[in-house]
Amino acid sequence: MIRDDEFFYGHKACGGCGGSLAVRIALKVLGERTLLTLPAGCMSAVSFNYPQMSYANNAIISAFAGTGAVMSGLKAGAEAMGLKDYHVLGIAGDGGTADIGIQALSGLIDRNDEGIYICYDNEAYMNTGIQKSGLTPFGATTTTTPAVPGSRGNIKQKKNLFEIVAAHGIAYAATASVGYIEDFAAKVARASEVKGTSFIHVLAPCPTGWGIDTSETIEVAREVVDTGLWYLAEYYDGEYHLNRRPKEFKDVGHYIRRQGRFKHLKDEDINEIIRLRDKTWDRISGFNTAR
Ligand SMILES: Cc1ncc(C[n+]2csc(CCOP(=O)(O)OP(=O)(O)O)c2C)c(N)n1
Ligand code: SF4
Ligand SMILES: [Mg+2]
């Protein structure tokens, strides 16, 4: 049950932006009494355009590396002011979370300060023109991993951010996709009930950087889950839980071929992506089944 109220509107995100959908839904779940911090990245660049601000709740833009630290500051400030019934929320991109912000995130979890950290993952530094981040997938072309003749684009795999976070012994962590929006909304609600730090890693396609049509965002965000290239899971009570265990995976080739960022890939590269996926599923198939 989410509110009819909108807390994120009038922003300048591109049509079909998956990140802006994640922000909108998270705020509809959490409501008006949410103290939000965002670092540099698309979701702040499109929304803090003086004299306009696109958040109807309390929101601030912070330094690129600082989301986790600013969340602790917001919590301490709210306590000092004697506020009641509020949420502390940090929303940062993949670069702002898995790369430059990882130290502040680790410190936040270590302190176990109460707040929800959402990483919207569009798989590159989009706001500055599509550079590779630690969460860019194998094979993607970016301006810093360009697909020139004889190259596959990015040769690294995504960091396993979900399990890096879980390894801290966090009370609650989850993966999600804007393609399964009810699942994401339910996870935001669960995260908001945690006494301590909680974390959600939501995959959020970017038509501009991925080379898809603006109408394809949701379809692609579902397909990445249905092909097994992204898994929906939670970590709580010290254990991993899988939300979906597809009996059969959808065609990886179809997912790859529809995106401009992968158009240089050959059949053997797609086979490599399938091999890496299968290796991941060999490992995670031992996860519990989620509640
Ligand atoms: C210390 C610092 N380094 C670099 C930048 C430039 N910068 C601003 S946004 C951005 C990219 C953010 O990427 P990501 O966190 O993935 O968010 P996205 O733009 O993809 O939404 C960069 C490199 C900055 N603002 N501060
Ligand atoms: S570049 Fe991508 S992430 Fe940034 S606003 Fe546009 S669609 Fe959204
Ligand atoms: Mg990004």
Q: What percent of the chain has pLDDT over 90?
A: 95
Given this model, what pLDDT does residue 60 score? Answer: 96
Given this model, what pLDDT does residue 200 score? Answer: 99
Specify the CATH number for the domain of residue 122.
3.40.50.970
Number of domains in the chain: 1
Q: Which residue minimizes the CA distance to atom 4 of ligand 2?
A: 42
Is 101 domain-assigned? yes
Does the structure show a pLDDT above 80 at 6? yes
Is 80 domain-assigned? yes
Q: What pLDDT, in 10s, does the model give residues 95-128? A: 999 999 999 999 999 999 999 999 999 999 999 9
Is 3 domain-assigned? no
Identify which of 17, 23, 42 to mutate to test ligand 1's pocket (most ligand atoms within 8 A of the CB).
42
Q: What pLDDT, in 10s, does the model give residues 19-65? A: 999 999 999 999 999 999 999 999 999 999 989 999 999 999 999 99
Does the structure show a pLDDT above 80 at 1? no
Q: What pLDDT, in 10s, does the model give residues 77-102? A: 999 999 999 999 999 999 999 999 99
Is 13 domain-assigned? no
Question: The domain containing residue 152 runs over which residues?
Answer: 18-289
120 CA: nearest ligand 2 atom: 3
Is 151 domain-assigned? yes
Q: What pLDDT, in 10s, does the model give residues 192-232? A: 999 999 999 999 999 999 999 999 999 999 999 999 999 99
Is 128 domain-assigned? yes
Given this model, what pLDDT does residue 150 score? Answer: 80
Tell me the pairing of strands 197-203 and 115-121: parallel
Q: Is the CB of 46 under 6 A from ligand 2?
A: yes
135 CA: nearest ligand 1 atom: 16
Distance, CA of 193 to CA of 183 (rounded, Å): 16
Given this model, what pLDDT does residue 291 score? Answer: 74
Q: Which residue minimizes the CA distance to atom 24 of ligand 1?
A: 64
Given this model, what pLDDT does residue 151 score? Answer: 81
Is 11 domain-assigned? no
Distance, CA of 77 to CA of 63 (rounded, Å): 18
